[in-house]
Every structure is written in structure tokens, then in C-alpha cells.
């Protein structure tokens, strides 16, 4: 079992494949202190790529070939990483745009157990990058979108120089849907949302003038992926739970109003929906499973309910001072608005207090792995 699997995804790369693999092999053999394996992941090449790769496998020790009959950079990485038994899986672009001396700083925090995911960054302080203004603008614009829409805290989602601890990769791959260029971004966003530690390495990077990436099509696909992740994010899930809870609350309030009056109907309807809301957010929004901590979560959720009850009761009192017998629809509208104002505070409380311990335990469990000692190949 190798410490590191270095995957090189390729599609119709007959021109530069042999030169790049020989350079990578020479570097790993002479300068890399951990055991390693190079995996050429050929995703449906139609030129001589497979033949060249097969020749390299026969000649160079530690080089393997994985052939796939479907195209997709993300698909190639998914298949190679899923089959790997290495402690750390990583990948780099076949053009070797990134200086190979950045590989050890990339994987060392993963081997030591300090971090879960590591990425090379062309936008981090200390990076040295040579590329045209068009690609520079696109890259910075895309990562700005990620920070704005998905609240990404990593600086460079697209650099073809990444590594993941083996067991973490297998967990993340279960939920990564994209098999193309958006694969990297989706993997990183999922890792961040699960509280995994992402290590960034400033890299020396030189643009490949022969790059055949279709920029416009890739950009459109990436924006679609961003929209999909935004809709599947915790805020969107929290809002969806909130909409269902509001509808249930409104129905209960209207059903109880005649018998109990506005104040009591509001309190009882809120109490009933608060229990269901906490349970739904526990599972759907924050992904907490099992019965451990259920009572504590609902007890804390009840305190959050008190905040909403206080705000809605005060709103009712203010309305009744203006009109002693307002129409029921107006009462309900005021209560819904007051509840909506309490929603932001509720989300913050659920995230940072109610389910904070469960989320912290999940991060610790994901990061719990033994350190490795260097070993040559």
C-alpha cells in the first residue's frame, strides 16, 4: 500500500503525456520521501494516449493505468480515488503547470493528520503565477462568486493540484455528483460544509498555452453547479424547513384561534411546530443522525422557541393596542412577519449553540487518523 497515489487524469494527451510522466516519475523517485504510486487515469481518449500510457507502465516501476470508457475529468478522479488504498490521494494536471516542489507541502499535513484536504492555490499570498489577463480575470471572478454565493473560505477552487486523505475522499465521493470540471469545487464545498480542515499551499504555476478547456461551456456548467449547491446548502435547507413550518403554524393558529384566542393560539401553535422544526433542522439542515443528544437539542430548541414566542406575543400586543379586534388575516400576517424576523436569530442559535456539539464531534471523528512516518519507495 502506497502512502500517496498521484492521479494524472488525461484525455487525448498523446503530445505531452510521456514527457510529463517521466518528469513526475523522476521527481518522485529522487526527491519524495514517502512511498508513492502514479495512476494515469485515461478517460476515453481516442488518440494514442492509452498506448503511450501502457508503454510507460511496462517501463516505469510504480506507474499504473486506469482506462475508462467515458469522458470526464471528475469521473476519472472519482474512479481512481475510489479504487485507491493509499493513505492520501492527490491529482495534478498532466501539463505539470504547478511546480512539483509544492507536492510535499501539499500532502504533508494530510499524512500527519493535521488536515483533511489540501489544495494548491494560485491566489493565496506567496503564490507565483504566470498566465494571461483573461484567465486571471476568469479565475478571480469565479472564486469571488464562490465566496459570495456559497460562502467559500478557500481561495482557489480550480487549481489542478489537490490532495485528500483516503478515507475522507471516499466519504466525500458518495455525495459529489459532478463528473466534469465542477468536481473540484463540489468536493471542496462539501468538505467545508462538513467542517473538514482545508489546507492551502501557495504554488508556483505557469499557464499551459496548449490548454484545450472550453472556457465558455465550462463556465456555464460551473455556474449551474454553483446554483445547485446553493439550493442544497444549509441556509436553503433551513429556509425550506421554515416554509413548511410556517404553513403548519398558520394552519394550527387558525384552527385554535376560535377556542383559545390569539395569544394562546399563537403560543400553542408555535410550541407544536417548534418541536417538529427542531427535529427537521437536526436531520435535514445540520445532518445530525441518531438519538444521541436528542433531549438536549430539543431542550435548547425550546429556549430558542421562547425568543420567537416573545417577539410574536409583543407584536400581537402592539397590534391589539392599535385595533382591539383586528381581522384574523391581519393578526396572522403580523405573526408571520414577526416569526420571519426571528428566523435569522434562530438559524444562528441552531448552528452555533443547539447543534454545535454534534457538528464539532463529527469534525473530530472525520479528522481522527494516525500520523505516518516517511518511507522511500
Q: Which residues are catalytic?
A: 184
Residue 36, CA distances (Å) to 5, 64, 73, 278 in order: 6, 11, 21, 47
Within 10 angstroms of residue 81's Cβ, the number of other Cβ atoms is 23
User: Which helix (H) or strand (E) is 79 found in, with range?
Assistant: helix 73-83
Kindly compute the dihedral angle of the four CA atoms of residues 91, 3, 119, 92, in this order, to the nearest 10 degrees.
-20
Burial class (CB in 10 A: 0-12, 13-18, 19+), 253: buried
**β partners of residue 120:** 201
Are the CB atoms for 50 and 42 separated by under 8 Å?
A: yes
**β partners of residue 4:** 36, 88
Beta pairing, strands 63-68 & 36-43: parallel
Q: Order of strands, edge to edge, in the sheet holding 63-68?
A: 63-68, 36-43, 4-10, 88-92, 161-165, 117-121, 198-202
Rounded (10°) angle between helices 17-31 and 49-59: 30
Give the residue from 115, 141, 146, 140 showing the smallest Cα distance to 127: 140
Give the residue from 256, 255, 262, 264 showing the smallest Cα distance to 325: 262
How far is Cα 100 from Cα 233, in angstroms, rounded to an integer?
35
Give the residue from 213, 188, 72, 200 showing the smallest Cα distance to 138: 213
Residue 164 φ/ψ, nearest 5 degrees = -140, 140
Q: How far apart are the first and last CA of the chain?
A: 11
Helix, strand, coil percentages, rounded to 5, for the chain = 60, 15, 30
Amino acid at each position: 500500500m502506497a502512502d500517496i497515489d498521484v492521479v494524472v487524469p488525461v484525455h487525448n494527451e498523446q503530445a505531452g503525456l510521456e514527457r510529463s510522466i517521466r518528469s513526475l516519475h523522476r521527481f518522485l523517485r529522487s526527491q519524495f520521501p514517502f512511498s508513492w504510486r502514479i495512476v494515469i487515469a485515461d478517460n476515453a481518449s481516442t488518440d494514442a494516449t492509452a498506448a503511450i500510457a501502457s508503454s510507460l507502465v511496462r517501463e516505469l516501476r510504480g506507474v499504473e493505468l486506469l482506462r475508462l470508457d467515458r469522458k470526464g475529468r471528475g469521473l476519472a478522479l472519482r474512479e481512481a480515488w475510489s479504487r485507491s488504498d493509499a493513505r492520501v490521494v492527490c491529482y495534478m494536471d498532466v501539463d505539470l503547470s504547478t511546480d512539483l516542489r509544492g507536492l510535499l507541502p501539499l500532502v504533508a499535513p494530510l499524512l500527519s493528520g493535521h488536515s483533511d484536504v489540501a489544495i494548491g492555490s494560485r491566489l493565496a499570498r506567496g503564490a507565483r503565477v504566470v498566465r494571461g489577463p483573461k484567465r486571471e480575470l476568469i479565475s478571480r471572478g469565479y472564486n469571488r462568486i464562490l465566496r459570495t454565493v456559497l460562502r467559500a473560505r478557500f481561495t482557489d477552487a480550480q487549481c489542478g493540484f489537490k490532495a485528500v486523505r483516503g478515507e475522507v475522499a471516499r466519504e466525500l465521493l458518495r455525495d459529489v455528483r459532478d463528473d466534469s470540471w465542477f468536481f473540484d469545487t463540489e468536493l471542496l464545498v462539501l468538505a467545508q460544509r462538513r467542517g473538514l480542515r482545508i489546507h492551502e499551499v501557495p504554488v508556483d504555476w505557469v499557464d499551459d498555452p496548449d490548454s484545450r478547456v472550453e472556457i465558455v461551456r465550462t463556465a456555464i456548467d460551473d455556474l449551474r453547479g454553483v446554483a445547485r449547491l446553493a439550493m442544497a446548502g444549509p441556509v436553503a435547507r433551513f429556509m425550506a424547513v421554515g416554509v413548511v413550518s410556517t404553513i403548519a403554524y398558520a394552519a394550527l393558529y387558525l384552527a385554535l384561534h376560535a377556542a383559545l384566542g390569539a395569544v394562546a393560539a399563537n403560543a400553542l401553535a408555535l410550541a407544536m411546530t417548534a418541536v417538529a422544526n427542531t427535529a427537521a433542522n437536526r436531520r435535514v439542515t445540520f445532518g445530525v443522525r441518531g438519538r444521541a443528544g436528542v433531549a438536549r437539542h430539543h431542550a435548547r430548541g425550546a429556549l430558542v422557541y421562547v425568543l420567537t414566542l416573545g417577539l410574536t406575543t409583543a407584536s400581537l400586543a402592539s397590534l391589539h393596542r392599535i385595533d382591539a379586534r383586528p381581522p384574523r388575516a391581519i393578526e396572522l400576517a403580523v405573526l408571520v412577519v414577526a416569526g420571519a424576523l426571528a428566523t435569522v436569530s434562530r438559524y444562528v442559535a441552531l448552528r452555533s449553540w443547539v447543534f454545535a456539539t454534534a457538528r464539532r464531534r463529527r469534525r473530530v471523528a472525520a479528522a481522527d487518523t494516525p500520523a505516518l512516518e516517511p518511507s522511500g519507495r
